[in-house]
Amino acid sequence: MSYEILEKLKKSIENYKDNPEWEEVGKVIEVADGILKISGLSKIGALEVLSVESSGERVSAVALNLEEDSVGALVLGNCEHIKAGQTVKRTKQLLSISVGENLLGRVVDPLGNVLDGKGPIFGAKDKFENYNLENNAPNVLNREGVNYPMHTGIKAIDSMIPIGRGQRELIIGDRQTGKTAIALDVIINQKDEENRPICIYVAIGQKESKVAKIMQTLKEQGALDYTIIVSASASSPAAYWYLAPFAGCAIGEYFRDKGKDALVIYDDLSKHAWSYRQISLLLKRPPGREAYPGDVFYLHSRLLERSAKLSKELGGGSLTALPIIETQLGDVTAYIPTNVISITDGQIYLESDLFYQGTRPAVNVGLSVSRVGGSAQTKAMKKVAGKLRLELAQFRELQTFVQFASDVDEATKNRINKGRIITEILKQPDLYPIPFEKQVLVLYATLNGHFDKFQPAEIKKIEEEFLEYTENLHENLLAKIKKERQITDETEEDIKKVIEKFIETIKK
């Protein structure tokens, strides 16, 4: 045994190649709260990775503040052993993450280190590329308009707030309103989608138990195979929280540049802004509104601008972003929510009142909007759900009015009943995304008055039975809608017949 060790040592010493060269170094002057102040390193570049030689082990840091006679750096790792006077070396490299197909189904930290205990991600023969965490967004010429839908599997969203591949749609709401649930449904719904996008879930400052639960849910639903989780847990340093969305974005860009579609969920950017505020204050950058630094808008805009639909010349890949923002007591006018609302191409606003009333997902349709998704919506859905928003708005108005009136005419009663049926139809439990072709059928039946004769309380059961009926007996119709993505006159006739037959079976 000892002989073997000696042989191995001999071999490694024989193979050792020395590379004598001059290195650029600096000295740690101050160290506190994960921030270093370094003297020297006058030629360093912004966001360059540094290597701190702290008692035997090397700790990485990234240069953030380049001042006249010192450098402010963010420690990426354990700063317990770093002391003033230690040497800091330049690496002449920007912060990057190794990306490749092997990342699928894995949980990593923002620096690409494994967190799921399944061993190293890339073997010696595996292909991977290094992608910079900070990257330029594609320019105007390299982009094209959003034109392909990113189906969420949620009726209220796909019908009224459609999202396209390459879009940035904000999910905003108070705590416990179902923001993460929507994000998970979107990931799960991609399972049977055409040109299935790669999903990246970025957990920023979340409990490890929550991340483990999310991973388990995705595994159970068969969605982990095409998902990558980037986790900067609550116990990790602010540096990790700050870098996590950029790492997730870099992973998404890899797939986007390969001509594939990718979806990245930032859960959530409020915590990301908090971490950036903490880092900025420790770096002694001047505080602005709510103590956030002046460039907190640029922080999020440069991140979200990297989501794009690329032109055909560049492979036609796309990166869709679903940033999440947690509001405090429904205040959407706070600094970070307004910033991100203005950056994104629309928002899905979740309301606690709706949530407690039982409307789940608790989407406030009036305040939610998708600015570019309409052009990506399938013709079938457009035809069916065109008047849905209007009908719901009219129902809400009538409902408020009727609260004060005792006697209501028949037409108003019917309209209110239909409004209630629509509201019931739009309710959907967690982890139960519905494919768009089924959504089209259900919404067609509802909006064309086929379900009007039922009581709102029955609707959920009727919907379930209707979907089961079509799935078992009219699979061809579903396949046809999925393939053609539009409702021709012929298809419409078929749909009508199917619905009528179904209603007859119920009567019996």
Partner 1 sequence: MKYKVKDYAKSLVEILSNNKLNDKKLTISFIKLLERQGDFAKAKEILEQAEFLITKQQGKKSVVLETARKLTESQKKNLAKFIEKGDIVKEKINPELIAGIKIIVDGERQFDQTMLKKINSLFKK
Q: Which residues bind partner 1 (CB under 8 A)?
A: 12-13, 16, 18, 20-27, 39-42, 56, 68-69, 87, 89
Query: What is the CB neighbour count within 10 angstroms for residue 20?
Result: 4
Residue 155: both structure tokens together: 């009726």
Q: Which is nearer to partner 1, 18 or 407 (CB)?
A: 18
What is the C-alpha separation between 389 and 396, in angstroms, rounded?
11
Q: Which is nearer to partner 1, 3 or 22 (CB)?
A: 22
Q: State the nearest-atom distance from the C-beta of 155 to partner 1, in Å.
A: 55
Q: Which is nearer to partner 1, 68 or 504 (CB)?
A: 68
Q: Which is nearer to partner 1, 58 or 175 (CB)?
A: 58
Q: State the nearest-atom distance from the C-beta of 46 to partner 1, in Å.
A: 18
The kind and range of the H/E element at 92 are strand 87-94
* Nearest one of 146, 144, 198 to 310, comparing CA atoms: 144
Q: Which is nearer to partner 1, 69 or 313 (CB)?
A: 69
What is the C-alpha separation between 381 and 365, in angstroms, rounded?
17
The 3-state DSSP class for residue 293 equals strand
Quick check: 247 and 230 in contact, CB under 8 A? yes
Task: List Cβ neighbours of 216 (8 Å cut-off, separation of 6 or more).
Answer: none
Q: Which is nearer to partner 1, 81 or 89 (CB)?
A: 89
Quick check: 168 and 307 in contact, CB under 8 A? yes
Q: Which is nearer to partner 1, 76 or 269 (CB)?
A: 76
Quick check: 151 and 261 in contact, CB under 8 A? no
Backbone angles phi, psi at 293, to 5 degrees: -70, 165
Q: State the nearest-atom distance from the C-beta of 67 to partner 1, in Å.
A: 10
Q: State the nearest-atom distance from the C-beta of 318 to partner 1, in Å.
A: 39
Q: Which is nearer to partner 1, 70 or 439 (CB)?
A: 70
Quick check: 347 and 368 in contact, CB under 8 A? yes
Strand partners, 483: none
Q: State the nearest-atom distance from the C-beta of 38 to partner 1, in Å.
A: 11
Catalytic residue among 371, 389, 396, 420: 371
What is the C-alpha separation between 114 and 223, in angstroms, rounded?
19
Q: State the nearest-atom distance from the C-beta of 118 to partner 1, in Å.
A: 24
Q: State the nearest-atom distance from the C-beta of 53 to partner 1, in Å.
A: 9
What is the C-alpha separation between 248 and 258, in angstroms, rounded?
16
DSSP annotation of 332 reads: T
Q: Is 306 a catalytic residue?
A: no
Residue 249: both structure tokens together: 């974005």
Task: List Cβ neighbours of 182 (8 Å cut-off, separation of 6 or more).
Answer: 152, 154, 157, 171, 348, 350, 361
Q: Which is nearer to partner 1, 53 or 208 (CB)?
A: 53
The 3-state DSSP class for residue 420 equals helix
Q: State the nearest-atom distance from the C-beta of 3 to partner 1, in Å.
A: 20
CA dihedral 152→445→411→505, nearest 10 degrees, is -140
The kind and range of the H/E element at 63 are strand 57-66
* Nearest one of 96, 159, 102 to 127, comparing CA atoms: 102
Residue 273: both structure tokens together: 């802004």
The kind and range of the H/E element at 130 are strand 129-132
Quick check: 274 and 328 in contact, CB under 8 A? no
Of how many residues is the chain composed? 508
331 torsion bin: left (phi>0), alpha (psi -120 to 50), beta (else)? beta
Q: State the nearest-atom distance from the C-beta of 113 to partner 1, in Å.
A: 16
Residues labelled as active-site residues: 371
